[in-house]
A and B are shown apart, each in its own frame.
Chain A
Amino acid sequence: GAVVSQHPSRVICKSGTSVKIECRSLDFQATTMFWYRQFPKKSLMLMATSNEGSKATYEQGVEKDKFLINHASLTLSTLTVTSAHPEDSSFYICSARDVAGGPKTQYFGPGTRLLVL
């Protein structure tokens, strides 16, 4: 079946640095990708919807200048956590929809664990 990859799977960085997370749809084109954040033992919270060739749509309360999203191609979306702080430590998961594959085709990447020291 279709696959969504994420890189890196795990990252540790110092406070104040920026971290880029990549999300790729490997065998389908995704005009839209979604970025979720998950805290330990909590549910997935949508951060933003990434749109190919246009600006991302951010959920209420998500700082767009903090979490930069770029969707430069039909198979790649990136999330950059700028000036990361310890409270940004979390599990970030991307998702992409293979519209041609039918209504159930909502695929998730394996996630990226971010730890900010």
Chain B
Amino acid sequence: AQKITQTQPGMFVQEKEAVTLDCTYDTSDQSYGLFWYKQPSSGEMIFLIYQGSYDEQNATEGRYSLNFQKARKSANLVISASQLGDSAMYFCAMREGAAEAAGNKLTFGGGTRVLVKP
């Protein structure tokens, strides 16, 4: 079974509008972390936001917020006030196990391509 599922392969969004990117995950670990990364055409992976499994508040980083619904195992990314520069691939990822352990790997979803229209 897929550990990270992103059901939206691509989406258009109007500039200045908000967009929600879906991410569901599957794990039996109690301790885990969820990440969102942006990958522009250059290929670099840009960290956007992080949510720990024990965090009670939804994470926010500027225009990015994470809608964490633990019981549903979903961690949707919300981008507010979309900008043309937000056009990119977006990946949801999960790190299972204790956050202090250096060796725990990230597993990625299939990604969602976002195109912001002027």
- The answer to whether A and B interact is yes
Q: Does A110 contact B (CB under 8 A)?
A: yes
Given the complex of chains A and B, what is the CA–CA distance between A49 and B50 in angstroms?
22
**B42 / chain A contacts, CB cutoff of 8 Å:** 110
CA A18 – CA B32 in complex, angstroms? Answer: 37
User: Number of contact residues on B: which range applies?
Assistant: 20 to 34
**Distance between Cα atoms of A104 and B89 in the complex (Å):** 20
Interface pair B33/A97, CB less than 8 Å apart: no
A contacts with B: majority SS: strand
B81 close to A (CB within 8 Å): no
Q: Which of A83-115 contact B (CB under 8 A)?
A: 91, 93, 95, 97, 99, 102-104, 106-108, 110-111, 113
Also in contact, A44 and B102, with CB within 8 A (given A93-B45, A110-B43): no
B99 on interface, CB distance cutoff 8 Å: yes
**A44 close to B43 (CB less than 8 A):** no
CB-CB nearest in chain A for B9: A41
A82 to chain B, nearest CB (A): 23
Task: Give residues of chain B (66-112) contacting chain A, Cβ–Cβ below 8 Å.
Answer: 91, 95, 99-100, 102-103, 105-111
Count, chain A residues at interface, CB 8 A: 26
Q: Is the CB of B52 within 8 A of A103?
A: yes
Listed residue (B33, B44, B45) with the most chain A CB atoms within 10 angstroms of its CB? B45
| Nearest-Cβ distance from residue B51 to partner chain A, whole angstroms | 9
A31, B33: Cβ atoms closer than 8 Å: no
Whether B91 contacts A49 by the Cβ 8 Å rule is: no
Q: Which of A34-54 contact B (CB under 8 A)?
A: 34, 38, 42-46, 49, 51
The 13 listed contacts between A and B (C-beta, < 8 Å) are A30-B102, A38-B43, A43-B91, A43-B109, A46-B106, A51-B103, A91-B43, A95-B106, A102-B99, A103-B100, A108-B37, A111-B44, A113-B43
